Structure 1
Amino acid sequence: MKVPNKSVSEKQNSAVWIYSLFTDFDTSLFLMGKHFRLYEKLGAHLIRVDEVEGTFFAVWAPNALSVSVVGNFNGWNKTAHHLYRKLDSSGIWEGFIPGLGQGEVYKYAIKATDGRDLERGDPFARKWEHPPHTASIIWDTNYSWKDKTWLNKRPKSNALDQPISVYELHLGSWRRDPAEPERVLTYKEIADALVPYVMDMGFTHVEFMPVMEYPYFPSWGYQITGYFAASSRHGTPQELMYLIEQLHKNNIAVILDWVPSHFPGDAHGLYEFDGSHLYEHADMRKGFHPDWKSYIFNYDRGEVRSFLISNALFWLELYHADGLRVDAVASMLYFDFSRKEEEAGTNQYGGSDNLGAITFLKDLNEAVYTNYKGVQTIAEESSTFPGVTHPVAEGGLGFGLKWMMGWMNDTLKYFKNDPLNRKYHHHQLTFSITYAFSEKFMMPFSHDEVVHGKSSMIYKMPGDEWQKFANLRSLYTYMFTQPGSKLLFMGNEIAQNSEWNFTKSLDWHLLQYDSHKGMQDTVRALNHLYRTEPALYANNYSYDSFEWINADDQLQSVYVYIRKGPKAKDTLVVVLNLTPVLRENYRIGLPFKAKWKEIFNSDALALFGSGKVNNGLYLPQQETCHYREYSMIMDLPPLGSVVLKSVK
């Protein structure tokens, strides 16, 4: 019901004025899990009431005995500014405090039914204090955006039939000022350095590891307490908007890591928010994640689904994000994820599927794709759950893309083998094509692969220094010429020697060495190849885009395949020689009669290769090979990869 306003005279004698932004319709949507703009109603809002400026507060705490706003402005007095409970089923407490403005710190003082006095941050706060401080901050997130040109063309440029090459980075450790190595860069400082770098390297997208406020720096942002706030470690919300705007002005899309799977138990956060298990399951077989020592959202509650979907749309609406990479989806889908059977909860039918999470993910994707043109959602999902990227109307979860974790694991296992032994593991590289088009896949070499003793990408490779770099150049060539979109974590493009260390900058000084500079040049060249050759992106998620010429030369560890574009003239032939042997006069079958030219060779001298490149044109010969009428002979560089294109 609508809360009646007090008269002006009554208000002026009250510390908190009765006021409401929440209607009966809002309440209905909220309870059903269908309110996707809660950030417009809950939290702290700078408004004017009866010509008086101040802040309106609203918080969901249905099991609280009382709620008040505390902060420096009232000496953290729990009795000075009590909120009013709405006289409906919403469980929302609200009120307007006149004179309270931008920059004031605050928390909610909550009296729980068990007698505990709790102090919680605002789940909808737009800004928080710099950790380790934990108070919320009243903040206006208005911004005068200047990226309309990008937003207008985003439906085309961010579509799945366009190149998607993602540079994943952690804002706190991508780069630091050498004069102040302990200090993380601000959003504006990052913009000044990152935008020209991404443009030069040819990536189409950046993916930021979580930018939402989080208390513990070693969590990398994956333990969030402030879901609606840009981390104050790097500056204000408006400064993050500036970073995103600068990327957009230079035609670079922005993906944000988003964590609707779990949250930490910090005293100022969501756990037991009003003294009860409000956001999390009360049954810890469903509500606690043993791997991450964090709490799992109760997706069965409509209010929780409304909170999370509102949060997703908040980042798309207010921060103009072009995509959300949804973290740990498999852990959401199954109650027995990373648990022993006897330690896991079940659904009402006795199964392990988390039906509330499935409903939530479907509602999320429908809300995103209905409301925002040209935006993509990406699932980090490692299970065999069917239809992750299939439309909701067809029974799928509705994601745009899914990380191809099986491909990533098989590929790294293969390349770790000594080249002499690769013949025994040949089909670790061919197997992925058997399922490559069952979903719309993104091929990731992410931060998870270069931490916790897994070693850096370059030191996963066998052999001496030259062989390590040759192997990694061929691995990246294989990745960029396989069906699917691409993702590289920062440092992978320069063959960072050490594992990722979130406490310091990448080792940019390595670029003084030819081997590392050659790796960076390789990634730059592959991005250029990927973006300019339609065969590598236009039909990425269709069987029509790929065909084997030779998948069975395991004795020589050679692979030959075709990438197909919309037109015959777009066709590419890719040849991988994954042993350190120069294979002279190697015959390959051709997809059709044409002259062929080498347009990329990972063994080029400029890339720190041995220089076994093929200049000039290859002429087709009418000699059957690989069941094809025409073929040709070429030299295959050691541990090298070649891309050929037909010419007139």
Structure 2
Amino acid sequence: MIQDTTLEHDIYLFHEGNLRYSYKLLGAHPDVRNGEEGIRFAVWAPNAVQVSVVGMFNEWNGRENPMEKINDNGIWVAFIPGLEKGTIYKYEILTRHGHLQLKADPYAFSSELRPNTASVVFPLNDYIWGDEEWMKQRKAKNPYESPMSIYELHLGSWKNVEPEVFYNFRDYAEMVIPYVKELGYTHIELLPLTEHPFDRSWGYQATGYYSVTSRYGTPNDFKYFVDQCHKSGIGVILDWVPGHFCKDAHGLRRFDGEALYEYANPAKAEKTQWGTLTFDFARNEVQSFLISNAIYWLKEYHLDGLRVDAVASMLYLDFGKEDGEWELNEYGGRENLEAVSFIKKMNESVFEETPDVLMMAEESTSWPLVSAPTYIGGLGFNYKWNMGWMNDMLKYMEMDPVHRKYHHNLITFSLFYAFSENFVLPISHDEVVHGKKSLLNKMPGDYWQKFANLRAFLAYMYAHPGKKLLFMGGEFGQFDEWKDLEDLDWELLDYDSHASILDYTKQLQQLYQDMPALWELDHKEEGFMWIDANNYEQSVISFARNSRTTNDQLVVVCNFTPEVYHDYKVGVPKHGTYKEIFSSDAEYFGGSGQTNGLPLESIPSPWQGQDQHITMTIPPLGVSFLKRTSVSKEEDHEK
């Protein structure tokens, strides 16, 4: 009989799918009963015949600490006096079929280091945060009209002690944060840190959704890492995977002997492409589990956002499946209506609890209104990865420049839809692994041209509307593709070309930070204006980026061939003196030095739809940023 009305209410909300803090109800928590300190355990297992807590403390004997079933919907509880932080445990579950199985706690906050699989008692409230100033500033910040450049990294292969032996989160804080801050990134994005059995899944196939992977330390160690990032002015985004989970025996699969967290229908449950199981998005308790999990990472770890992985795999019943492996929805469509409803509910819940965070969808289709509010029919994220831009641009950049003029649309098409969503431009880990080659090695041409192409690509990326994301190694031109069991090829920085690319990335980031035109109107059409999108013969494009202040306007000219064009006419929106404030072809970046050192005075003759034009040198495989630094003599006279 439950006598605590608060507990009764939480249990009711859990079964209704509306308990946003279910990790405070379920799992292992320090408690006091009849004056004795110990641990209260609670688990949801409605199909179990009996559940016990087992561990070294009772020699893994399920008869010692049986749990009591406190309601008809299958919540089991037990209080064990004398246990404390660090206790290793599992749940022993007797199924309807007479089988005994050992399961890790779905709500455990910590886990044993693989290959061991037990859960570890770890209180949530024994870390003292020092990031109050950051959290205060975050509430007042408008991310849409602010610079955002994200450094995506996989901690274990950024640097490691040796393959599959990693540093602690605290060590990574000392190494990663100064590096990222020096380069000028605003955010770090970490590949999933939920506990997972297999290193090479990179965390995308998890068993412990509430458990920080013990590969890098304890929950408090991770809190320290986030805390230090915030103290250094760097936000932290975590890759999060609510779409599917792995089938390992100690995890969520058939948790109480029956399909519980996954769909009972194999056609909906099986992710055949990955060998994983789909969450049952229609089940209320699963909704409480996942929504609470999102809020848990944002609240308990002060994270600044979640990048939600594989959203398309949630939205479509036929994702990654052949004919006959999936079933139509009740209206004859291929959309997973339950997942759509869940995603909307999740985002509404997250933003009600933490209104100042980022919820970023990795959604690879043309599903409409991904980053629009739910009240106008959107999915409710506030950002979407622009996978179309990424695919088009990498395809374009991999071509020999001789052939680029035949595929000019690949660099211009993204502007037809650039303002339909709040986009992030992602060059992520997925693009530099599994034989896809590193970003530098995708580039065609000889040694010099590879680096010139990379500089041009990065400059165009930073000039294009949308926030920015680059996977580790791209910033210094790693030649090999990502080797997930080794650390980055840091020795390349002993070579001038790679050291120059690192400096180039830093200077490009500084330009980006300093120029509101590159981010202030990122998601509005008035933030961008084509000057010339049609010169496919020479593979040259030019455009303007605008801020709220007219004088902050930038003119950007991109040349995707190795030809130099002298006395090239570029239309400019206003008359005056234009200065080249940044060139990807500068000699100190390893370029050929075909820059425009002298001021460029506009000529009052129409060109490319503009009233004025300038003549300039267009560098080979280069991008030039121009800014009007003073008004022309004519405009000054008019005043």
Q: Shorter-normalised TM-score: what interval?
A: over 0.9
Structure 2 CA distance for aligned equivalents of residues 337 and 182 of structure 1: 32
1:461 corresponds to: 443
Q: What's the secondary structure of 1:223's corresponding residue?
A: coil
- CA–CA separation in structure 2 for the residues paired with 1:645 and 1:141: 51
Q: CA deviation at 1:317?
A: 0.8
Whole-angstrom distance in 2 between the partners of 1:476 and 1:401: 21
Q: 2:114 aligns with which of 131, 153, 175?
A: 131
Is the Cα contact below 8 Å between 1:580 and 1:639 reproduced in 2? Answer: yes
> For 1:431, what is the secondary structure of its paired residue?
helix
- Partners of 2:72 and 2:10 in 1: how far apart? 11
What secondary structure sits across from 1:526 in the alignment?
A: helix
Give the CA deviation at 1:182: 5.2
State the distance in 1 between where 2:8 and 2:40 align: 18
Equivalent residue letter for 1:637: P
Identical amino acids, percent of aligned pairs: 47
1:443 is the counterpart of 2:425: yes
Whether the 8 Å CA contact 1:379–1:401 is kept in 2: the answer is: yes
Q: Work out which of the residue numbers 311, 318, 322 in structure 1 matches 2:304.
A: 322
Q: Distance in 1 between matches of 2:98 and 2:549?
A: 72
Bigger mean CA offset, 515-524 vs 143-152: 515-524
1:120 to 68, 93, 103: 103
Tell me the secondary structure at the aligned position of residue 233 of structure 1: helix
Q: Within 2, Cα distance between the matches of 1:558 and 1:250?
A: 40
Q: Which of 523, 544, 547 matches 2:526? A: 544
State the match for 1:72 in structure 2.
56
Which of residues 84, 87, 92 is equivalent to 1:109? 92
Any conservation in 2 of the 1:27–1:90 contact (CA below 8 Å)?
A: no
After TM superposition, give the deviation of residue 106 of structure 1 in Å.
Answer: 0.4
2-side partners of 1:346 and 1:21: how far apart?
43
CA apart distance, 1:362 = 0.7
Map of 1:259-274 to 2, 5 A cutoff?
259-274=241-256
Q: CA deviation at 1:374?
A: 1.8
2:140 is equivalent to residue 141 of structure 1: no
Structure 2 alignment gaps of length 5 or more: 631-639
Which amino acid is the alignment partner of residue 100 of structure 1? L
Find the aligned partners of 1:89 and 1:286 in 2 and give their Cα distance. 27
What root-mean-square deviation, in Å, do the aligned CA atoms of Structure 1 and Structure 2 show? 1.2
Task: Give 3-state SS (helix, strand or coil) of 2:517's partner.
Answer: helix
Mapping of residues 192-591 of structure 1, within 5 Å: 192-591=174-573
How far is the alpha carbon of 1:348 from its aligned partner?
2.4
Does 2:34 correspond to 1:50? yes
State yes or no: 1:624 paired with 2:623.
no
Instruction: Say if 1:21 and 1:459 are closer, same or farther in 2 by CA, change over 3 A.
Output: farther
Once the two structures are TM-superposed, the CA of residue 468 in structure 1 deviates from its matched residue by 0.5
In 1, distance between residues paired with 2:579 and 2:621?
A: 20
Query: Structure 2 length normalisation: TM-score?
Result: 0.97
In 2 relative to 1, CA 158–455 (structure 1 residues): closer, same or farther, beyond 3 Å? farther
The residue number in structure 1 matching 2:637 is: none
Opposite residue 583 of structure 1, the aligned amino acid is Y
Whichever residue aligns with residue 527 of structure 2, its letter is: S
Mapped partners of 1:99, 1:181: distance in 2: 39
* 8 A Cα contact 1:534 1:565, kept in partner: yes
User: 1:393-437: per-residue Cα shift (whole Å, max 9, x none)?
Assistant: 111011010000000000011111111111101111000000111
Measure the CA separation in 1 of the matches of 2:398 and 2:460: 15
Using the TM superposition, give the Cα deviation of residue 57 of structure 1 relative to its aligned residue in structure 2, in angstroms: 0.4
Corresponding residue of 1:85:
69
Give how far 1:305 is off. 0.7
Name the TM-score, length of structure 1 as normaliser.
Answer: 0.96
Query: What is the letter of the counterpart of residue 42 of structure 1?
Result: L
DSSP 3-state at the match of 1:168:
strand
Aligned-pair distance for 1:594? 1.9
Deviations 1:164-190 (A, max 9, x none): 10000001111124xx56521110110
> In the alignment, residue 3 of structure 1 is paired with which amino acid?
I
Q: Quickly say closer, same or farther: Cα 1:276–1:603, change in 2 above 3 A.
A: same
Matched residues in 2 for 1:384 and 1:153: separation? Answer: 34
Distance 1:74 1:175 in 2: 40
> Would you say the 8 A contact 1:127–1:136 is kept in 2?
yes
**Would the alpha carbon gap of residues 158 and 218 (structure 1) be closer, same or farther in structure 2, given more than 3 Å must change?**
farther
Q: Which residue does the alignment assign to 1:94?
A: 77
Show structure 1 runs of 5+ residues with no match: 5-19
Contact 2:273/2:321 (CA < 8 Å) preserved in 1? no
Name the CA distance, whole Å, in 2 between partners of 1:539 and 1:486: 14
Do the aligned residues in 2 keep the contact of 1:158 with 1:375 (CA within 8 Å)? no
1:157/1:197 Cα in 2 relative to 1: closer, same or farther (>3 Å)? Answer: farther
Tell me, yes or no, if the aligned pair for 2:54 and 2:90 is still in contact at 8 Å: yes
1:41–1:526 CA distance, 2 compared to 1 (3 A): same
Question: SS state of the match for residue 182, structure 2?
Answer: helix
Alpha-carbon separation, structure 2, partners of 1:27 and 1:183: 41
Residues 181 and 327 (structure 1), Cα distance of their counterparts in 2 relative to 1, 3 Å cut: closer
- Quote the offset at 1:22 in angstroms: 6.9
Question: How far did 1:475 drift?
Answer: 0.3
User: After superposition, what is the alpha-carbon deviation per residue over 1:77-133, rounded to whole angstroms, capped at 9, x for unaligned?
Assistant: 0111100001x3431000211111111110000000011111100000011000000
Q: CA–CA distance in 1 between the matches of 2:140 and 2:509?
A: 19
How far does the alpha carbon of each residue in 1:42-83 deviate from its partner, in whole angstroms, 9 at most, with x for none? 000011122210000000000000000000000000111100
Partner of 1:402, secondary structure, is strand
Residue 435 of structure 1 aligns with an amino acid whose one-letter code is: Y
Note the C-alpha offset of 1:525: 1.2
- Aligned 8 A contact 1:224 1:264 in 2: yes
Which residue identity is paired with 1:34? N
Aligned partners of 1:530 and 1:154: how far apart in 2? 20
Structure 1 contact 550–626 (Cα < 8 Å) conserved: yes
